C-alpha cells in the first residue's frame, strides 16, 4: 500500500513544483503599469515650471489612480496644489485632485477618477498601451537659489 501511494503522489509533487516555478517566473516579469515623472530643466530666471507625469499600462484599462510625489530638495523647488490636464489622458475626467499631505509643497498626492467606464472620448478610462503617455502635469515653483549653490538638482 505504501509503495502504491508514493508512486501516485510523486508525479503530483513534481507538477506542484513546476506550477510554482512557472508562476514565480511570471511574477518577476515586466510590470503591467508604470508611472514616471519626466526630467525637467528650468532656466534659473524662471519662477515656475510643469512636471509631466507619464503612464504605461500594458494589460488593463485604468479608471482611476492615486500616487504620491515627493521632492528631495525643498530648497530648490516646491510642488503646487494644482494640475494641468489639457491634452493629457486625464483630460475631462470627473475628478482630478492634487494636495500636499505635509502642507508645505514638498509633496503632492495626486488622485484621478474617470467618468463612466463605458464612455469614449474626453473623460474616458485609459485603454491599455505599450507606449508611455502623458497622464497629468503638476506645476512647481522654483525657489530663490543662491549663486553659491553648486548642486541645483532636485529629484522626485
Look at the alpha carbons of 114, 117, 121, 126 in this order and tell me if their dihedral is positive or negative.
positive
Assess whether 56 and 93 both reside in one domain: yes
Assess whether 83 and 115 both reside in one domain: yes
| Per-residue pLDDT at 23 | 45
Assess whether 67 and 3 both reside in one domain: no
The domain tally of the chain equals: 2
Assess whether 108 and 124 both reside in one domain: yes
Per the prediction, the chain carries an average pLDDT of 82
The reply to whether 155 falls in a domain is no
| Per-residue pLDDT at 17 | 41
pTM here is 0.76
| Per-residue pLDDT at 28 | 56
Assess whether 70 and 26 both reside in one domain: no
| Per-residue pLDDT at 50 | 94
Domain that holds residue 22: 1-30
| Per-residue pLDDT at 18 | 41
Assess whether 65 and 133 both reside in one domain: yes
The CA distance from 48 to 73, in Å, is 15
Assess whether 121 and 57 both reside in one domain: yes
The CA distance from 119 to 97, in Å, is 21
pLDDT digits (tens, 9 = 90+) for 100-139: 999 999 999 999 999 877 777 778 899 999 999 999 999 9
Beta strands in 58-156 (DSSP E): 64-70, 77-79, 95-99, 107-113, 133-142
The reply to whether 153 falls in a domain is no
pLDDT bracket for residue 5 (50, 70, 90): very low
Assess whether 64 and 127 both reside in one domain: yes
What is the mean predicted confidence (pLDDT) over 71-91? 91
Q: Bridge partners of 98?
A: 110
Assess whether 61 and 6 both reside in one domain: no
The CA distance from 42 to 142, in Å, is 8
Look at the alpha carbons of 69, 76, 87, 102 in this order and tell me if their dihedral is positive or negative.
positive
What is the mean predicted confidence (pLDDT) over 129-153? 88
Amino acid at each position: 500500500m505504501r509503495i502504491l501511494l508514493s508512486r501516485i503522489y510523486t508525479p503530483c509533487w513534481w507538477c506542484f513544483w513546476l506550477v510554482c516555478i512557472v508562476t514565480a517566473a511570471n511574477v518577476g516579469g515586466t510590470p503591467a503599469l508604470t508611472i514616471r515623472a519626466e526630467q525637467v530643466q528650468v532656466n534659473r530666471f524662471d519662477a515656475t515650471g510643469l512636471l509631466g507625469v507619464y503612464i504605461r499600462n500594458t494589460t488593463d484599462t485604468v479608471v482611476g489612480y492615486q500616487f504620491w510625489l515627493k521632492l528631495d530638495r525643498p530648497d530648490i523647488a516646491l510642488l503646487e496644489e494644482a494640475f494641468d490636464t489639457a491634452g493629457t489622458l486625464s483630460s475631462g475626467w470627473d475628478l482630478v485632485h492634487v494636495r500636499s499631505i505635509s502642507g508645505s509643497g514638498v509633496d503632492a498626492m495626486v488622485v484621478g477618477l474617470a467618468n463612466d467606464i463605458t464612455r469614449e472620448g474626453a473623460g474616458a478610462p485609459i485603454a491599455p498601451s505599450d507606449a508611455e503617455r502623458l497622464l497629468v502635469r503638476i506645476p512647481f515653483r522654483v525657489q530663490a537659489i543662491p549663486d553659491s549653490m553648486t548642486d541645483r538638482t532636485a529629484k522626485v
